[in-house]
Amino acid sequence: MPKDARDDAWLYQRSWQRLTDEEFEFFSYYGYHYTPRSAFNEAKGHIQNHIILCGHQHLEEAIMQDGEIHRIYQNLKPKKEKISNYTLQSREIDIEPSNNYLIRLGVGGPEGYYGIGEPFPHFGLVSYDPKKVILFTVLDNKT
């Protein structure tokens, strides 16, 4: 086996590394790319009506399964609030108890996502009463 293949063998292990926009799963140099359906099916074997929170990728995403799979992030209306020298942007996902959710927190950091998307910190909170997930992005004072 070439040295490069041994060094990169971890890339070809089936682990939940990257959520794909494609309709199929695949390996690339960036790791294993999984579909939302695959993640929902895996979780269903352990728990019903679940919320999967994941990271690793830089862009936020929210997907709901109610029998069908729907990408809902683009429908979440952002709210902004000024705190000190920063603007906090939030998006709320009301959790329906009979549905499943896959929510990806965007991990911005100082470099962002190859110059695409927001290079700001992201985090999320889970509220139990009422049941919702709130995604936050901390923006600078120019936004």
Exposed, middle or buried, 16 (CB in 10 Å: 0-12/13-18/19+)?
A: middle
Q: Which helix (H) or strand (E) holds 82?
A: strand 79-83
Q: Which helix (H) or strand (E) holds 87?
A: strand 86-94
Same-domain pairing of 23 and 76: no
pTM for the full predicted model? 0.78
CA distance 116 to 140: 17
Q: Which amino acid is at 63?
A: I
Give the count of domains, the chain. 2
Pick the residue with more confidence: 16 or 117?
A: 16
From the list 95, 14, 111, 110, the residue with the least C-alpha distance to 51 is 95
pLDDT digits (tens, 9 = 90+) for 88-143: 999 999 999 999 999 988 765 555 555 655 567 788 889 998 999 999 888 876 64
DSSP state of 66: S
Same-domain pairing of 121 and 59: yes
Report CA Rg, the chain. Answer: 17
Same-domain pairing of 108 and 57: yes
Same-domain pairing of 69 and 129: yes
Same-domain pairing of 11 and 58: no
Same-domain pairing of 56 and 121: yes
Domain hosting 21: range is 1-34
Q: Which amino acid is at 69?
A: I
pLDDT of residue 2: 45
Point out the least confidently predicted range of 20-24, 52-56, 79-83: 52-56
Question: In the predicted model, is pLDDT for residue 53 greater than 90?
Answer: no
